[in-house]
Amino acid sequence: MASTTASAADAPTRAETVRAKGRLYRGDLGMWSWVAHRITGVLTFFFLFVHVLDTALVRVSPNAYDTVIETYKHPVMILFELGLLAAVLFHAFNGIRVMLVDFWSKGTKYQKPMLWTVIGLWLVLMIPAAISMLTRAVTEIFGG
């Protein structure tokens, strides 16, 4: 009896096709910088939106505005400030890198070293800021 489908044993083995490098992201550093740039942009936008709303609150109810500002003075909010600083710094430095890649004729050639420069600058600025801000938070929470 003839069958229109061949069994798996009769099928010829195909060599695994190798994808050309750069055709599909597979966790490359460039992909993660793209993702981080989008996330930090959204977080910065969210902060600006909340900032405009809480500043506008002063016209509606000065007492409510004062209450919101007191909430921002809580030591736990220092963690949010640190996150905001991290997001804004990365987004700014990576945005400069993206502009250089787009508008500089040699930008694509040097995009990976520029990304490492962005990461290095971000770390150089974030480590002392994190130490300072976290020290202040711990001092305010536990006394000092």
Cite the DSSP H helix spans in the chain: 29-60, 62-72, 77-103, 111-142
Tell me what pLDDT residue 39 has.
96
Tokens of 3: 């069958």
Token digits of residue 110 = 């040097």
pTM as predicted: 0.75
Cα 81 to chain center, whole Å?
A: 15
Q: Which residues contact 88 (CB under 8 A, 6 or more apart)?
A: 40, 44
The tens place of each residue's pLDDT in the chain, 144 residues long, gives: 555 555 555 655 555 555 555 555 667 888 889 999 999 999 999 999 999 999 999 999 999 999 999 998 888 899 999 999 999 999 999 999 999 999 999 988 998 999 999 999 999 999 999 999 999 989 988 886
Q: Do residues 91 and 40 touch, judged by C-beta distance below 8 A?
A: yes
Q: Which of 57, 34, 38 is nearest to 46 (CA)?
A: 38
DSSP-assigned states of every residue in 97-117: HHHHHHHSTTTTTTHHHHHHH
The C-alpha atoms of residue 24 and residue 20 are separated, in whole angstroms, by 8
Q: How far apart are CA 32 and CA 35, in angstroms?
A: 5
Q: Which domains does the chain have, with CATH numbers?
A: 29-143 (1.20.1300.10)
